[in-house]
């Protein structure tokens, strides 16, 4: 029986294992798996989904309204707002309006991820109803 000589000078076909943490490393960027998304990313995705469901209600007349997410509401509430913590707000002038959803108060008020999604839909529906001048019960997202 004859043996064939090894292909590499050291006799190995693959790199040596990393014994002390200074050798080959894993991928530089992890694959985007759902478990690695942050709460902020999940919240942004939920707001985007609610905004897309609200677009047909806004129509072309109010199509210029944008949606945004901020961490907390400002310290100085508007004069017409009650003292309770605001979950969302319609800001801007008639030409540049924006519906802002506040992440921390929404997450604090909701208990689970499904409640966060439902509360986001309710807040977006309430703000869209404010724009359209109709009761919030008429808007279903």
**How many alpha carbons lie under 13 Å from residue 81 in its C-beta half-sphere?**
15
CB-based burial label for 139 (10 Å; 0-12, 13-18, 19+): buried
What is 37-138's CATH topology?
A: Zincin-like (3.30.2010)
Residue extents of the structural domains in the chain: 37-138
* 46-86 pLDDT per residue, tens: 999 999 999 998 888 888 889 999 999 887 766 666 656 78
pTM: 0.70
* 6-38 pLDDT per residue, tens: 555 555 566 556 666 666 666 666 666 666 778
* 74-118 pLDDT per residue, tens: 877 666 666 567 899 988 877 788 999 999 999 999 989 899 999
Looking at residue 101, what is its pLDDT?
96
């Amino acid at each position: 029986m004859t043996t064939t000589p090894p292909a590499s000078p050291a006799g190995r076909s693959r790199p040596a294992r990393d014994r002390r943490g200074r050798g080959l490393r894993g991928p530089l960027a992890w694959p985007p798996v759902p478990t690695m998304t942050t709460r902020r990313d999940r919240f942004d995705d939920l707001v985007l989904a609610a905004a897309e469901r609200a677009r047909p209600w806004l129509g072309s007349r109010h199509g210029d309204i944008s949606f945004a997410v901020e961490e907390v509401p400002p310290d100085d509430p508007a004069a017409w707002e009650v003292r309770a913590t605001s979950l969302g707000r319609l800001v801007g002038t008639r030409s540049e309006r924006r519906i802002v959803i506040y992440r921390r108060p929404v997450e604090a008020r909701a208990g689970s991820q499904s409640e966060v999604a439902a509360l986001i839909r309710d807040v977006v529906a309430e703000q869209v109803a404010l724009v359209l001048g109709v009761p919030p019960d008429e808007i279903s997202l």
